Homo-oligomer: A and B are copies of this chain.
Amino acid sequence: MLWSNYFIPTQKENPADAKIPSHKLMVRSGMIKQESAGIYSWLPLGIKVLKNIENIIRQEQERAGAIEILMPTLQSSDLWSESGRYDGYGEEMLRVVDRHDRILIYGPTNEEQVTEIFRKYVKSYKNLPLNLYHIQWKFRDEIRPRFGVMRGREFLMKDSYSFDLNEDTAKISYYKMFVAYLKTFQRMELKAIPVSAESGPIGGNLSHEFSVIAPTGESEIFCDKSILDLDINKKNLTTDKEISEAVENYLSFYSATDEKHDVNNFNKTVKKKDQISGRGIEIGHIFSFGDKYSKPMNASIVNADGKISDVYMGSYGIGVSRLVATIIECFNDDDGIIWPISVAPFKVNIINLKNNDDDCYSKCIEIHNLLEKLGIETIFDDRDESAGKKFSDGDLIGVPFQLIIGPRELKNGNVELKIRKTNKKEIISFERAIDKIKSIIFEE
């Protein structure tokens, strides 16, 4: 992509209302634009990152056996009356009255809607287990939306819903999502900590948050350092037994949200030097809630003995748009964003030091086309701007590799390669630079 053909409205000034790094940097790098309180447009760089994150989530959901559907943004309020949540959900639920005076709800979550789908089609234990997920915009009418897309009103969420015959298989479904979440976040280079949590308005008695520690986190979390040393990718996870053991290994270590924290127990079970506490940003939340929705909504199944029972359910959410901000909270410096390769909007940024030099321009185009052909998304900063502006914008938008091409080095067949993560620069031949980029990207 040529920068001059693209649309990246960077700006130097921080927005007046932005308090956290991700909000500042997303506005400054031209990723988002606020349209109303807590409602944003995603500009080209923003939507690219959002889609990269969405695709990682989708791949890991499919790998875990979840099946994609898409429920609408607007739901009938009748479903919420059936489940008993209509009155309880409060003012965060956006109610809409249509031209025929029917009440619709802009879905903040989809337990009712998916239970309605299930009960219409699935009647037999033979069709279980089943896990349906979708990635759809949601709305929560937060009283004080803030921190950009970290706490917006219209937000993108992946939510999965599992259906099982009994508590034991429901637990396996829960564990499978537990593993999928660890793998998903690891692919984004996030160290997500599963934390025992309250289940709140979703319900049930088994619930975990997945949080990353960052200074701007919204609440305190506490855990045993050992959890951070576990690596889900080092486990062999073929059978249900292996999955259960892996998850129960995680669960054997202390971890809790503020609400669930028990100081005595923490001190008793975790050595002082292994006690970790910090601000956590919640990026996922999973729930097992049995028949909380299936019972009032009559979502029952016939089991192998011909008996009828309410289906066991769980729900599993990931804040997709919030993840964009979270990754930036974890990976930034004074100059801008530092994207992990897997989610970066482009992998390579080619900077032309001398705008009117034909040789430089041709070389930039040649390298750009070569990288694109290799499947490495590349942006070439061909703007008629100073080198300084290109450097600062390059650091700001945080593309992992910068290839700086100027007449002096070009004469010797060399290029300057800057790795944004370390900010280290080296002058090497084009061949070595491309080999290095390839080896880092494709080894991942």
Interface residues of A (CB under 8 A from B): 5-7, 9, 30, 33, 35-37, 39-44, 46-48, 50, 65, 67-76, 91-92, 94, 96, 98-100, 102, 104, 106, 113, 116-117, 120-122, 130, 132, 134, 137, 139, 141, 143, 153-154
Chain B proximity of A328: nearest CB distance (Å):
18
Cα A48 to Cα B69 with chains together (Å): 9
Q: Which B residues touch A113, using CB under 8 A? A: 35, 41
Q: Which B residues touch A71, using CB under 8 A? A: 35, 41-42
Q: Which B residues touch A120, using CB under 8 A? A: 9, 33
Secondary structure dominating the interface of A: mixed
Q: Are A69 and B43 in contact (CB-based, < 8 A)?
A: yes
4 smallest beta-carbon distances between A and B, as pairs: A9-B121, A42-B70, A36-B76, A91-B99
Q: Are A68 and B39 in contact (CB-based, < 8 A)?
A: no
Q: Are A74 and B39 in contact (CB-based, < 8 A)?
A: yes
Q: Which B residues touch A65, using CB under 8 A? A: 5
Q: Are B98 and A141 in contact (CB-based, < 8 A)?
A: yes
Additional A-B contact list (10), CB under 8 Å, known A35-B76, A35-B113: A33-B120, A42-B70, A44-B69, A46-B69, A46-B70, A47-B68, A47-B134, A48-B68, A73-B137, A92-B99
Chain B proximity of A121: nearest CB distance (Å):
4
Known contacts being A104-B36, A120-B33, is A41 close to B72, with CB within 8 Å? yes
Chain B proximity of A33: nearest CB distance (Å):
6
Cα A48 to Cα B70 with chains together (Å): 10
